[in-house]
């Protein structure tokens, strides 16, 4: 591990950072997240992660209804000390086109959050972030895992409004065909194709 001896890292205040604090911080590494008032730094993306993230953003944006849009790697203001950054999101078209804020969405803008699991994000993507997303009320969550031979496996969840927890609605290999949150048909084997 290399440490920059000149750079001064932010010291959290008592009780951790708030979203307001987080938005004022400068010179943080790309894709830094705020979870439970702490800064989470992510390691550089691997090719598989980048390719799958790009495929999902393209496929979702091409198939969303007119009132929705897909975006990637944008923070979501979940609460006073929570600002994670899903790999892919489906948000309202109004939020997508809104000029301000420029660097994040509000939780009520988000219809679907997608996390593409990496070795350094397994616990966050499988446990921490889905719990935060469900408690905040995001209706749909997909966890994308790397299967054998680099195959894409999607675990789809929908929010149960009574328990405020995600319930599984499907596991997809090779093809993701669903009508929730909208009609969608994605060839999961296309992650490495041009497009």
> How many Cα atoms within 13 Å fall on the side-chain side of residue 147?
14
Mean of per-residue pLDDT scores for the chain: 92
pLDDT value for 141: 98
How would you class 66 by CB atoms within 10 Å of its CB: exposed for 0-12, middle for 13-18, buried for 19 or more? exposed
What predicted TM-score, i.e. pTM, was given to this entire model? 0.92
Q: Return the structure tokens found at 47.
A: 């090719």
pLDDT value for 1: 42
Residues of the chain with pLDDT under 50: 1
pLDDT value for 187: 94
pLDDT value for 194: 52
């Amino acid at each position: 591990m290399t440490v920059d001896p000149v750079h001064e890292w932010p010291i959290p205040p008592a009780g951790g950072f708030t979203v307001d604090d987080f938005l004022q911080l400068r010179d943080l590494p790309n894709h830094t997240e705020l979870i439970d008032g702490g800064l989470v730094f992510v390691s550089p993306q691997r090719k598989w992660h980048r390719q799958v993230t790009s495929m999902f953003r393209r496929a979702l944006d091409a198939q969303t209804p007119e009132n929705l849009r897909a975006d990637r790697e944008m923070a979501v203001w979940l609460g006073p000390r929570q600002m994670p950054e899903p790999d892919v999101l489906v948000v309202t078209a109004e939020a997508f086109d809104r000029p301000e804020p420029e660097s994040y969405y509000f939780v009520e803008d988000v219809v679907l959050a997608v996390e593409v699991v990496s070795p350094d994000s397994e616990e966050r993507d499988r446990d921490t972030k889905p719990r935060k997303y469900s408690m905040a009320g995001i209706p749909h969550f997909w966890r994308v895992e790397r299967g054998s031979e680099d195959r894409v496996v999607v675990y789809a969840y929908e929010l149960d409004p009574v328990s405020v927890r995600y319930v599984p609605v499907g596991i997809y290999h090779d093809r993701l065909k669903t009508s929730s949150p909208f009609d969608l048909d994605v060839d999961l084997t296309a992650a490495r194709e041009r497009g």
